[in-house]
Amino acid sequence: MLPGVFATSDYGLWFERERAFVIADLHLGYEAEARSEGAGVPSMQFPIIRERVGAILRRYEPEKLVVAGDLKHSLGRNRRQEWDEVNGLVDMLDNKCELEILRGNHDNFLVTILRRAGLGLEDSAIVQDVLIVHGHRKFRRPMNSWLVIGHEHP
């Protein structure tokens, strides 16, 4: 993509020089929301996500992991599954790399969950002069800079 920036088969971007990996749209707790709407969906997503993030840690040994929005799924109140899975991911990453979480349109009330770990939400991040946002809000891109957004689910 750019020198030292790679789109990977691990569903993210690897910024080699900065040792930063960017992922987006994990939608932790999705199954609880689906069940609340009547779907008989088993909770299967989190073990898969935990394994994939673990593979990223082993493969790339990032110093920073950026989640470009929609870490959790429910638009309303935080569901128990979201508390458990967000805290599980944060605990898994503790002392392995810095975690930077960007606000997505599904991340209402996420700051309440993150408070336990002393984490907050940011609107954007810059890695190697690349602006990273979730993409659901207007933003100001610096001139002549590259942009990475999450939010779209192809």
Q: What would the mean pLDDT of 12-34 be, rounded to a whole number?
A: 95
* Structural domain harbouring 126: 5-149
Among 148, 149, 153, 74, residue whose Cα is nearest residue 107: 74
Rg (CA), the chain: 15
**154 inside domain:** no
The string of pLDDT tens digits covering residues 108-140 is 999 999 999 999 999 999 999 899 999 988 888
d(C-alpha 103, C-alpha 138), whole Å: 13
For residue 21, the one-letter residue type is F
**145 inside domain:** yes
Residue 153 reports pLDDT greater than 90: no
Give the chain's domain count: 1
Q: What would the mean pLDDT of 20-24 be, rounded to a whole number?
A: 97
Distances (CA, A) of 95 to 2, 54, 103, 116, 143: 29, 13, 22, 15, 35
d(C-alpha 152, C-alpha 49), whole Å: 18
Q: Contact, 148 vs 134, CB < 8 A?
A: no
The string of pLDDT tens digits covering residues 74-116 is 998 899 999 999 999 999 999 999 999 999 999 999 999 999 9
What CATH number does residue 86 fall under?
A: 3.30.750
What is the pLDDT, as a whole number, of residue 154? 58
**99 inside domain:** yes
Per-chain mean pLDDT for the chain: 93
